Amino acid sequence: MNISRKVLTLDEYTIQQVRQIPNATGELSALLRDIGLAAKRVNVEVNKAGLVDILGDAGSVNVQGEDVKKLDVFANDQFTGVLRHGISCAGIASEELDDYVAFEDSVSRNSKYVVCFDPLDGSGNIDVNVSIGTIFGVYRRVSSKGSIAAKEDFLQKGTQQVAAGYVVYGSSTMLVYATRRGANGFTLDQSIGEFTLSHPDIKCPPKGKIYSVNHGNFFQYDKKVQRYIDICQKKDKSNGGPYTQRYIGSMVADVHRNLIKGGIFMYPGTVDKPKGKLRLLYECNPFAFIVSVAGGKATNGIQRILDIQPTELHQRSPLFIGSKDMMEELEGELDKKE
Binding interface with ligand AHM (CB under 6 A)? 118, 121-124, 214, 249-251, 267, 277
C-alpha pair distances (Å), 126 with each of 63, 121, 284: 22, 10, 21
Out of ligand AHM, Mg ion, none, which partner does residue 250 contact, by CB within 5 to 8 A per kind? ligand AHM
User: CB of 4: closest distance to ligand AHM in angstroms?
Assistant: 40
Nearer to ligand AHM, 95 or 153 (CB): 95
Q: Bridge-partner residues for 316, per DSSP?
A: 279
Q: Which helix (H) or strand (E) holds 218?
A: none
Given ligand AHM, Mg ion, none, residue 249, with its beta carbon under 5 to 8 Å by kind, binds ligand AHM
- Contacting residues for 143 by C-beta, under 8 A, at least 6 apart: 90, 149, 150, 152, 153
Output DSSP code: residue 21: S
Residue (88 or 212) nearer to ligand AHM, CB: 212
Indicate which of ligand AHM, Mg ion, none lies near residue 329 (CB less than 5 to 8 Å, by partner kind).
Answer: none
Residue at shortest CB range from ligand AHM = 251
The entry of ligand AHM, Mg ion, none near residue 224 (CB within 5 to 8 angstroms by kind) is none
CA distance 193 to 213: 35
151 versus 314: smaller Cβ distance to Mg ion: 314
Q: Which one, of 231, 279, 259, lies nearest residue 135 by Cα?
A: 279
Which residue is at the shortest CB distance from Mg ion? 121
The option from Mg ion, ligand AHM, none interacting with 16 (CB < 5 to 8 A, set by class) reads none
Rounded Cα distance, 38 and 114, in Å? 16
Find residue 187's DSSP bridge partners.
174, 196
Query: Please, which residue, 250 or 285, has the CB nearer to ligand AHM?
Result: 250
Residue 123 contact partner, candidates Mg ion, ligand AHM, none, CB within 5 to 8 A by sort of partner: ligand AHM
Give strand pairing partners of 182: 179
CB of residue 42 to ligand AHM, shortest distance in Å? 14
Tell me whether residue 31 or residue 319 sits nearer to ligand AHM (CB atom): 319
Rounded-to-integer distance, Cα 129 and Cα 143, Å = 42
Distance CA 158, CA 144 (A): 20
Residue 169 binds which of ligand AHM, Mg ion, none (CB < 5-8 A, kind-dependent): none
Nearer to ligand AHM, 30 or 284 (CB): 284
Q: Quote the least distance from Cβ 109 to ligand AHM, whole Å.
A: 31
Nearer to ligand AHM, 91 or 119 (CB): 119
At residue 316, the 3 state secondary structure works out as strand
Cα 35 from Cα 73, distance rounded (Å) = 16
Residues found near Mg ion in the complex (CB under 5 A): 118, 121
Between CA 222 and CA 273 the distance in angstroms is 12
CB of 170 to ligand AHM, least distance (A): 13
Radius of gyration of the chain from its Cα atoms, rounded to whole angstroms:
20
Least Cβ distance, residue 217 to ligand AHM (angstroms): 7
Element (H, E) at 176: strand 173-179
